[in-house]
Amino acid sequence: MKPSTFAKAPSLEIDDILGNLDLHIIVCTGAGGVGKTTTAAALGLRAAEMGRDVCVLTIDPAKRLAQAMGLSSLDNTPRQVPGVCAPDGSGSLFAMMLDMKRTFDEVVEGHADPERAQQILNNPFYQTLSSSFAGTQEYMAMEKLGQLRVRAMDEGTWDLIVVDTPPSRSALDFLDAPARLGSFLDGRFIRILTAPARGAGKGLGRLAAMGFGLFTNVLSKILGAQVLTDVGTFVAAIDTTFGGFRERADETYALLKDSGTLFVVVAAPERDALREAAYFVERLRTDGMPLAGLVLNRVQAVDDPDLTSEQAAAGAQTLTELAGDGSDAAAKEARLTAALLTLHAQRMSLAARQKHLADRFTAAHPGVPVSAVPALAEDVHDLEGLRTVGTLLAGSL
């Protein structure tokens, strides 16, 4: 099944994208379990072997990227993948896996003096916020992307960053969660918590503190006194760094809208995954963010498209009836052929269903380029497997 069969969708020209030196960020996004990590790694590898200096940032908790790239482990520091370059020796590939808490710690350490930073890092509420608060992973993915881009511009370490977005409930969370967390940290609740400390000792401050006392009594009953104490201590310690959270989220959000960024939406040929992809395509258009196109992963390939599912099923039934309970060589060969025809019929039916779903997507989003990647016989677990995926993405096989 080729992309051109999908309601006349244009082809997603991967090599033209990777070879565009004005492009500095590729964001791979889509529903969970559709192959974003493999796609991001394959794009990074192919770009590096075309001569570009690439850093792949993954947020995949399965940690398959390290194994596929032949590294013992990935952490919050970009590590070079050995032996990856273009034939002329140019190009390089670095990879890293987001450590959400470590990235948050770096933000605190970079925007507070050592004593205050240590107070924040030791605070129980901060430790919960930095490791499990809703939206923190997405915010920190954006934060790390911003850090990598700044480093690339300052040091010239790499000219292309490929981002594998978090495995969120919704692909939209990657865009929405940073703003939500920034709003929380800069928002009304935080200002209320910090108001007494800022106004203590003044006439209005004393009145505010009295009102705050009533407010905290209620919260203590709901949350527990210790939790509220931890929150208050955290707020008092981090107050001077609040402005930076929202500002950095806004800066990275603007970076995603820049002409040097492209989004690649990744989906499987399944109803839910394509529905999620459709939502994201519309969101990108609404927000004015640059869309490269759709990568449709795990498309069922068929060896003989001229033999229909109905013909194969009918042939399998005929051969099964002819073989009966026979035990001679001819009967065994007939049963084997019938099994192969049944498998072909199943694959043809699956391919037809996938084509129907893909055609619905491309008909609803005309002009969105598509690259279809056939389902592989086994999972990708090494560089050679990633090269194969990259070649398929580019339509070279």
Verify that 360 and 345 share a domain, yes or no.
no
Q: What is the pLDDT of residues 193-206, one digit of tens each?
A: 555 444 444 443 44
Its domain, for residue 30, covers: 3-303+354-393
Verify that 298 and 346 share a domain, yes or no.
no
Reported pTM: 0.81
Which segments in the chain show pLDDT lower than 70? Answer: 1-8, 60-65, 132-135, 167-174, 177-246, 396-397
Cα–Cα distance between 271 and 147 in angstroms, integer? 36
Verify that 318 and 359 share a domain, yes or no.
no
Verify that 340 and 384 share a domain, yes or no.
no
Return the CATH number at 246.
3.40.50.300
pLDDT at residue 396 in the model = 60
In the chain, the number of structural domains is 2
Verify that 294 and 320 share a domain, yes or no.
no
Listed residue (345, 352, 392, 266) closest to 6, CA to CA: 352
pLDDT at residue 270 in the model = 92
Verify that 20 and 78 share a domain, yes or no.
yes
Verify that 179 and 277 share a domain, yes or no.
yes
Cα–Cα distance between 20 and 54 in angstroms, integer? 13
Under 8 Å between Cβ of 237 and 127: no
Verify that 142 and 177 share a domain, yes or no.
yes
Verify that 323 and 236 share a domain, yes or no.
no
Cα–Cα distance between 80 and 94 in angstroms, integer? 4
pLDDT at residue 59 in the model = 77
Which value, in Å, is the radius of gyration of the alpha carbons in the chain?
A: 27
Verify that 349 and 360 share a domain, yes or no.
no
Cα–Cα distance between 144 and 106 in angstroms, integer? 10
Verify that 197 and 335 share a domain, yes or no.
no
Cα–Cα distance between 143 and 250 in angstroms, integer? 10
User: What number of residues does the chain have?
Assistant: 397
Q: Which residues are bridge partners to 58 per DSSP? A: 97
pLDDT at residue 206 in the model = 44
3-state helix, strand, coil in the chain (%, to 5): 60, 10, 30
Verify that 119 and 250 share a domain, yes or no.
yes
